[in-house]
Chains A and B, each alone.
Chain A
């Protein structure tokens, strides 16, 4: 059985939660060894945590070229690690940056990509991915045809991270050849909007989303406070981002992001089909809306009919009190 290679997303050497989840899934579902790839400045520091979750070999490329979002050096690193490890299956965290990296890598290696996988099963020696399609209205099982490098994008929180009891992995420095095309795209400036220390939407276990019912940008302070007591991220409907109340990258839905947190709370969101297309695979859905007929209630596990401006403040207070 050839090893499975897991692309580890990390923040200055600290692997993100989703990476630990994917390493765990690779160990439990893959039927072989788990190798990991750590790229970028300070990446090697993440090897120990990868080992704790079950990785036996870590390919490390501490390259400055792999600045955040510099796609082409990352593609070269991924292809080099694929060759070095002898893996035929790559698992990576499904997100927009990785779709660029893996899209190029699949063309370069004549592989195939299955995106947004929420479960993995082994069919003989081949991996098969389960993915929700059409906003979760249907479920499909897909695989990459045998004999090709297979790339599976794994959704955050699809698997629970569990430590394996294993020790640190063998660390193998990765040799990567970069030609000039790898550096023709240059990052000139990085602009961070204050995320208030909140998790990214695609990583978060909890998302509190606000819509037109908030009334104005100020209404999002309530949504932020609720997100904070739940250690969650903030999402928004298109009506809210179009109005300029919250940045577009927080938009959930057909023309925004697809999210699948453990808990989604929609406040002042009607639940139009285009919004639901991005969130209806959330494990638990809560709707707060003054209109008892709002479509979001139809898919909500729990609904509160009422004025969010009245409901959110005592809700935040009670949750904060419980948190202590």
Chain B
């Protein structure tokens, strides 16, 4: 079994965001970037499969040179190796262009399963798993809160607004996972040390046979025209309850009525 985990390098949610007003893209070096939290669940799930059934697990990251810190972080959980796709032409790519690059990298690999997060914390488009599946002509099992592998197929419990559905598809397949799937471990000291020595291969667009004219800021299918900060919200009235609960409840009802919300 060979599993590939695409991972994204994202700015810390808690950090201030800064926009490069010339390119209208996120200044990704303005704050310390982190491994997208959702990708820790896919890594954990891959590790559990590896420990149970045996598997080789490879990280795949589309990101600039300095994304290597994020890749090493991913490797520190105990994975076997990494592929990084870095090329200046990729900068500013939209979801479809990123999926195109990921698909080209995956097309060069043998794999049974692509395990990824359902979304990343910066753009949160939730588009990449489905787009990737379409480029590769593979089934996608998305929003999995449980994954089972048997007899050449993957079966997941897919989270829906009102419960879940059990969905199955033959391997190879793309699976995206939600937080409820597991509790990620912490990397061990041994894992962190070992991650430094794990093989990391880098590829550029030429190596993958992707035309630079299909990706990047100028060639993406979407275009950002303007980004403006939203004026910070002013805190409204705050009232103190007297311990009875009635004072607080009354004030809130009056507020809701005044706002025509009831």
A binds B: yes
Tell me the A residues contacting B by CB distance below 8 Å. 68-69, 71-72, 75, 95-97, 99-104, 106-108, 110-116, 128, 132-145, 148, 181, 184-193, 195, 200-202, 206, 230, 238, 241, 248-249, 251, 254-256, 258, 262-263, 273-274, 277, 280, 284, 286, 288, 292, 297-307, 309-315, 318-319, 322-323
Provide the main secondary structure of the chain A interface. Answer: mixed
Residues 223-234 of chain B, each 1 if its beta carbon lies under 8 Å from chain A, else 0: 111111110010
Could you say which of B221, B226, B235, B255 contacts A299, with CB atoms under 8 Å apart?
B235
Closest to B169 in A: A185
Residues 121-140 of chain B, each 1 if its beta carbon lies under 8 Å from chain A, else 0: 11111111111011101011
A107 touches B131 (CB 8 A): yes
Closest to B218 in A: A145
Could you say which of A113, A138, A305 contacts B230, with CB atoms under 8 Å apart?
A138
How many angstroms between the C-alpha atoms of A108 and B130 in the bound complex?
11
A142 touches B237 (CB 8 A): no
B139 touches A185 (CB 8 A): yes
Q: What residues of chain B lie closer than 8 Å to A306, measured between beta carbons?
A: 240-243, 245, 247-248
Q: What residues of chain B lie closer than 8 Å to A309, measured between beta carbons?
A: 245
Shortest beta-carbon distance, B147 to chain A, in Å? 14
How many angstroms between the C-alpha atoms of A256 and B124 in the bound complex?
11
Q: What residues of chain A lie closer than 8 Å to B179, measured between beta carbons?
A: 238, 241, 248, 251, 255-256
A184 touches B139 (CB 8 A): yes
Closest to B227 in A: A140
Residues 248-262 of chain B, each 1 if its beta carbon lies under 8 Å from chain A, else 0: 111111011001011
> 15 additional contacts, CB 8 Å, given A75-B134, A95-B161, A145-B220?
A104-B131, A128-B225, A185-B139, A187-B166, A190-B165, A192-B162, A193-B163, A200-B162, A241-B180, A262-B261, A301-B255, A303-B238, A304-B248, A306-B248, A311-B249
Shortest beta-carbon distance, B127 to chain A, in Å? 4
B142 touches A100 (CB 8 A): yes
Shortest beta-carbon distance, B98 to chain A, in Å? 12
Could you say which of B118, B161, B253 contacts A202, with CB atoms under 8 Å apart?
B161
Q: What residues of chain A lie closer than 8 Å to B163, measured between beta carbons?
A: 190-193, 249
Q: What residues of chain A lie closer than 8 Å to B155, measured between beta carbons?
A: 188
Could you say which of B166, B221, B248, B256 contacts A112, with CB atoms under 8 Å apart?
B221
Shortest beta-carbon distance, B13 to chain A, in Å? 5
Residues 142-171 of chain B, each 1 if its beta carbon lies under 8 Å from chain A, else 0: 110100000000010111111111111110
B245 touches A313 (CB 8 A): yes
Could you say which of A181, A230, A305, A322 contacts B241, with CB atoms under 8 Å apart?
A305
Interface size class of B (residues with CB under 8 A): 35 or more
A303 touches B134 (CB 8 A): no
A104 touches B230 (CB 8 A): no
Asked if B38 is at the interface (CB within 8 A of a chain A CB), the reply is: yes
B130 touches A103 (CB 8 A): yes
Q: What residues of chain A lie closer than 8 Å to B262, measured between beta carbons?
A: 230, 319, 322-323
Q: What residues of chain A lie closer than 8 Å to B128, measured between beta carbons?
A: 103
B248 touches A189 (CB 8 A): no
Question: Given A137-B230, A145-B221, are A255 and B235 also a contact pair (CB < 8 Å)?
Answer: no
How many angstroms between the C-alpha atoms of A186 and B243 in the bound complex?
55
Question: Given A195-B162, A273-B13, are A96 and B143 also a contact pair (CB < 8 Å)?
Answer: yes
B228 touches A139 (CB 8 A): yes
A255 touches B245 (CB 8 A): no
A314 touches B245 (CB 8 A): yes
A302 touches B252 (CB 8 A): yes
Question: Given A140-B226, A142-B222, A184-B139, are A304 and B133 also a contact pair (CB < 8 Å)?
Answer: no
Q: What residues of chain B lie closer than 8 Å to A128, measured between beta carbons?
A: 225
B137 touches A254 (CB 8 A): no
Question: Given A96-B126, A113-B125, A143-B222, are A286 and B255 also a contact pair (CB < 8 Å)?
Answer: yes
Q: What residues of chain A lie closer than 8 Å to B131, measured between beta carbons?
A: 103-104, 106-107
Asked if B246 is at the interface (CB within 8 A of a chain A CB), the reply is: yes
Question: Given A133-B227, A314-B246, are A304 and B241 also a contact pair (CB < 8 Å)?
Answer: yes
Shortest beta-carbon distance, B129 to chain A, in Å? 7
Asked if B37 is at the interface (CB within 8 A of a chain A CB), the reply is: yes
How many angstroms between the C-alpha atoms of A256 and B159 in the bound complex?
12
A249 touches B244 (CB 8 A): no
Asked if B94 is at the interface (CB within 8 A of a chain A CB), the reply is: yes
Asked if B17 is at the interface (CB within 8 A of a chain A CB), the reply is: yes
Q: What residues of chain B lie closer than 8 Å to A143, measured between beta carbons?
A: 222-223, 225
Asked if B14 is at the interface (CB within 8 A of a chain A CB), the reply is: yes
B249 touches A315 (CB 8 A): yes
How many angstroms between the C-alpha atoms of A241 and B246 in the bound complex?
29
How many angstroms between the C-alpha atoms of A292 and B142 in the bound complex?
40
How many angstroms between the C-alpha atoms of A102 and B99 in the bound complex?
14
Asked if B209 is at the interface (CB within 8 A of a chain A CB), the reply is: no
Question: Given A112-B94, A113-B95, A318-B249, are A140 and B224 also a contact pair (CB < 8 Å)?
Answer: yes
Could you say which of B126, B140, B243 contacts A71, with CB atoms under 8 Å apart?
B140
Closest to A263 in B: B261
**A-contacting residues, B2-24, CB 8 Å:** 13-14, 17, 19, 24
Q: What residues of chain A lie closer than 8 Å to B166, measured between beta carbons?
A: 187-191
Question: Given A137-B17, A318-B250, are A145 and B37 also a contact pair (CB < 8 Å)?
Answer: no
A280 touches B126 (CB 8 A): no
Shortest beta-carbon distance, B108 to chain A, in Å? 19
